[in-house]
Chain A
Amino acid sequence: MKITQEEVRHVAHLARLEFPEDQIGKFTIQLNDILMYMEMLNALDTKGVEPMTHATVLYNAFRDDEVKPSLGEGESLANAPDPRGQFFRVPRVIE
């Protein structure tokens, strides 16, 4: 096994997800199959190969430091599930 049910629960917590207990088993098996498939990469010697992190030539895209209009309050809050005044309301964080 590449990944145990316990690890799946831990990674799920990191990703702010949760799974019903009856699904964790099947999910873990599927993840193991996928991670086993990826094992094939270990057959390849990549010593000294520079990792490719982007598909385009790397360069900086600069623009002039000018203030441009941005979204107003109304538009910014229009999709909020629980707006309150100028704010996004969420459950209490600090007791």
Chain B
Amino acid sequence: MELYELTVHELHEKLVSGETTAREVLDAYYRRIEAVEDRVHAYISLMKETAYAQAEEADRSIREGRIGPLTGVPIALKDICCTRGFPTTCASRILENFRPPYDATVVARLRAAGAVFTGKTNMDEFAMGSSTETSYFGVTRNPWDLERIPGGSSGGSAAAVAADECAAAIGSDTGGSIRQPAALCGVVGMKPTYGRVSRFGLVAFASSLDQIGPFTKDVRDCAILMNVIAGHDPRESTSVPVEIPDYRAFLDRSVEGWKIGIPREYFMEGIDPEVRAAVEGAARALEGSGAKLIEVSLPHTKYCVAVYYIIAPAEASSNLARYDGVRYGFRAEDPRDLLEMYKKTRSAGFGAEVKRRIIIGTYVLSSGYYEAYYKKASQVRALIREDFDRVFALCDVILTPTTPTAAFRLGEKLDDPIQMYLSDIFTISANLAGIPGISVPCGFTGEGLPVGVQFLAPHFEEGRLIQIGSALSTLMPREVRRPRL
């Protein structure tokens, strides 16, 4: 077994026991990156120089017995997380040369835990997309089939973990941008409760929906990463000052006696039969171990995509107003006056999908349309949340497919925004309601593409997601299949 194939907990054990060093581990990862990256293109930039300094520091601290939960472990960061002094582009031309003056809180926490940062991963521009095809820096390919998309928007992070180009990665999830690519790349991805992980230093897309979370090779690693990144941050006013459990305590426990809600609305239109079969297989395995499956209803499910594509662009149009070419980022050449500078800078700096969403957002907030769109969507959002409150009175967790189909082909939906938006149909509801969700691999299609099952839990109950994800991995041991690269 190669070093780069190991999980975070396996690597950490080898590092602590002295069987290997952080430097050797990092060498192994950069050799792996060199071997596969021209085909996968998971990264926008590599942080080699600082990574080797971090690895050296990790080896020193291991020798001195100062061992953090991630000491010496190579981790990739979605290029939406600010890294002090190192380019943070959001996959946009407008931020191509931006070097943040500070670290995101999640980055600072990972640093303090001893992590080594391999590089910044590719994504849809400003996290707006479901395929990582809208990146200014080119597409990322799915390691399981290079003609297919890795999902998005955190497609680079998912692909990097699946292709063994890092031990774990950080992503962000506004409508499914962690869970959907995790499912399509066959890795574990969690979106924590809104407010669980600080968004300080996360470039804002839709502030009432954005949340940071981990991509990992197994559920144990997910618990380890959550222990590091979760927690209140005085610099982020929506981060919630509630106690963080040790998420590892939820591993290796049975879910006997649990009630698992199966929402009928998630098993209806448009779901691929092979995806459905794999997800139902996971449900039956859990039932076989003593959990009880109960049918539940989330009646406002069909409105989620419409609500999301009003609220997210509305918030985005406001958040992205800051890119004006004045204080940082790209500025167009030779404008005649200030207004022309704004227009030329923004028009050349943003890609098509970002502009589309800014226009939608500006439109739905504009005078005369606010009530019909934004207010209406916010009301339906309240109904969607009430659906979940009702259902969680009846069950411990909800089980759904993460995505309606396995990974689709590059270019297939790029010119059809609504079809692209519908690929997030099962993940958007958790962001609207603010609840946590996890995607765990549960099998493959006949063509060998990974399938993910999603679990959803009430606010701040990430522990239940770890517990059931861990139980499922024991019941359905991960097939010893790796992408052929």
Inter-chain contact A56/B329, CB cutoff 8 Å:
no
Q: How many A-B residue pairs have CB under 8 A?
A: 152
B contact residues around A18 at 8 Å (CB): 343-344, 347
* Known contacts A41-B380, A52-B382, A56-B194; is-contact A81 B329 (Cβ 8 Å): yes
Q: How far is the CA of A56 from the CA of B197 in the complex (A)?
A: 13
Inter-chain contact B434/A56, CB cutoff 8 Å:
yes
Kindly state whether residue B326 has any CB partner on chain A within 8 Å: yes
- A66-85: CB near B (< 8 Å → 1, else 0) gives 00000100011011111000
Q: Please give me the residue from chain A that is nearest to B354 by CB atom.
A: A17
A contact residues around B381 at 8 Å (CB): 51-52
Kindly state whether residue B19 has any CB partner on chain A within 8 Å: no
Q: How far is the CA of A1 from the CA of B328 in the complex (A)?
A: 38
Inter-chain contact B310/A38, CB cutoff 8 Å:
yes
A contact residues around B305 at 8 Å (CB): 37
A contact residues around B362 at 8 Å (CB): 11, 14-15
Inter-chain contact B208/A78, CB cutoff 8 Å:
no
Within 8 A of A (CB), among B319-378: 321, 324-331, 335-344, 346-347, 350, 355-356, 358-360, 362-363, 366, 373, 375-378
- B19-49: CB near A (< 8 Å → 1, else 0) gives 0000000000000000000000000000000
- A27-67: CB near B (< 8 Å → 1, else 0) gives 10011011101101110101001111111100001010000
Inter-chain contact B433/A16, CB cutoff 8 Å:
no
Kindly state whether residue B432 has any CB partner on chain A within 8 Å: yes
Inter-chain contact B306/A3, CB cutoff 8 Å:
no
Q: How far is the CA of A75 from the CA of B85 in the complex (A)?
A: 10
Inter-chain contact A91/B382, CB cutoff 8 Å:
no
Inter-chain contact B338/A91, CB cutoff 8 Å:
yes
Inter-chain contact B328/A79, CB cutoff 8 Å:
yes
Kindly state whether residue B234 has any CB partner on chain A within 8 Å: yes
Q: Please give me the residue from chain A that is nearest to B330 by CB atom.
A: A81
Q: Please give me the residue from chain B that is nearest to A95 by CB atom.
A: B337
Inter-chain contact B359/A12, CB cutoff 8 Å:
yes
* Known contacts A14-B366, A51-B375, A91-B336; is-contact A44 B382 (Cβ 8 Å): no
How many chain B residues touch A (CB < 8 A): the figure is: 69
* Known contacts A46-B380, A55-B431, A71-B101; is-contact A17 B338 (Cβ 8 Å): no
Inter-chain contact B380/A15, CB cutoff 8 Å:
no
Closest Cβ of chain B: how far from A4's Cβ, in Å?
12
Closest Cβ of chain A: how far from B421's Cβ, in Å?
8
Q: How far is the CA of A20 from the CA of B379 in the complex (A)?
A: 36
Closest Cβ of chain A: how far from B172's Cβ, in Å?
14
Closest Cβ of chain A: how far from B194's Cβ, in Å?
4
Kindly state whether residue B6 has any CB partner on chain A within 8 Å: no
Q: B338 is contacted by which of A11, A44, A53, A93 (Cβ under 8 Å)?
A: A93
- B42-58: CB near A (< 8 Å → 1, else 0) gives 00000000000000000
Closest Cβ of chain B: how far from A72's Cβ, in Å?
9
Inter-chain contact A31/B356, CB cutoff 8 Å:
yes
Inter-chain contact A37/B355, CB cutoff 8 Å:
no
Inter-chain contact B326/A90, CB cutoff 8 Å:
yes
Kindly state whether residue B303 has any CB partner on chain A within 8 Å: yes
* Known contacts A16-B324, A18-B347, A34-B418; is-contact A41 B101 (Cβ 8 Å): no
Kindly state whether residue B448 has any CB partner on chain A within 8 Å: no
Q: How far is the CA of A24 from the CA of B324 in the complex (A)?
A: 22
* Known contacts A51-B381, A93-B338; is-contact A40 B306 (Cβ 8 Å): yes
Can you list 12 A-B contacts with CB-CB less than 8 angstroms, sorted by A residue number? A12-B359, A14-B366, A16-B342, A33-B417, A33-B418, A38-B309, A44-B383, A50-B379, A53-B378, A63-B234, A81-B329, A90-B341
Known: A19-B347, A41-B377. 7 other contacts (CB 8 A): A17-B347, A38-B310, A54-B208, A54-B238, A78-B101, A79-B99, A91-B338
* A-B complex: 10 closest residue pairs judged by Cβ atoms: A55-B434, A51-B378, A79-B328, A81-B331, A61-B237, A52-B382, A55-B194, A46-B379, A49-B379, A16-B342
